[in-house]
Amino acid sequence: MTKVPTPDTEAQRKYQAIKAGTFQAEKKRKMQEKLAVAQDLQKDIAECSEIGDQPLKKTADMLTVYEAEAQVPAEYKKCFKMMANGGWSAMAGRWPCQGQTVLHWAARNGKDELCRFIMEEYHVDAHEEDGSGHSAIYHAKLKRHRRLAKKLISKFRDENARERKKKMTDESVERA
């Protein structure tokens, strides 16, 4: 009697993997990938804290509003005009492309100088989420702009933001 070979199908491979104890469910695999990204981000944060949290000073080599506006697509050019009148808060809930801000777009496309300009000119937090719940740091990491992600975490951060948040929490505790 000759042995009939088993068909090499996806279901057969899954069965053999379960039988051998090496099968990983899709959910588990995705969770491991997310955990790896989170651990990578934590390493970057640790590296940045070793470098130091020195805020960047406004220098002559920083972009102007005109130069920044020239780098972005047409749908964001209108946003620069609105921000000129009312600042960053004027655009709340009005961002194009599923709520992605100019900072998210710049981080996704690796525009270091544009990110620096936006962070310093409009005092934006890099951890601000877009319509999908992702930060500018996430977008930079997603497209493998590691240096930019590190800069967003450390150097571009508004140093006064921590103090303002601390004052706000202190005031809310005093009121209670």
Q: What is the pTM of this model?
A: 0.55
Q: Which two tokens stand for residue 106?
A: 């710049």
What domains lie within the chain, and their CATH numbers?
25-164 (1.25.40.20)
Q: Given a cut of 60, is residue 171 above it in pLDDT?
A: yes
Instruction: Tell me what pLDDT residue 3 has.
Output: 78
How far apart CA 148 and CA 136 sit, in angstroms, is: 10
Instruction: Tell me what pLDDT residue 109 has.
Output: 92
Give the confidence band of 170 by pLDDT, cuts at 50, 70, 90: low
Instruction: Tell me what pLDDT residue 55 has.
Output: 47
Give the confidence band of 21 by pLDDT, cuts at 50, 70, 90: confident
- The tens digit of pLDDT for each residue in 27-86 reads 777 778 888 887 887 777 766 655 554 444 455 677 888 888 888 888 888 888 888 888
Instruction: Tell me what pLDDT residue 67 has.
Output: 86
Residues 66 and 46: beta-carbon distance below 8 Å: no
* 77 against 24, higher pLDDT: 77
Q: Render the burial of 100-114: b for 16+ CB within 10 Å, e for the rest.
A: bbbbbbbbbbebbeb
Instruction: Tell me what pLDDT residue 172 has.
Output: 59
Instruction: Tell me what pLDDT residue 56 has.
Output: 46
Q: Which two tokens stand for residue 83?
A: 């921000």
How far apart CA 121 and CA 19 sit, in angstroms, is: 59
Residues 6+ apart with CB under 8 A from 84: 65
- The tens digit of pLDDT for each residue in 94-149 reads 888 788 888 899 999 999 888 888 888 888 888 888 888 888 889 898 888 888 88
How far apart CA 136 and CA 131 sit, in angstroms, is: 12
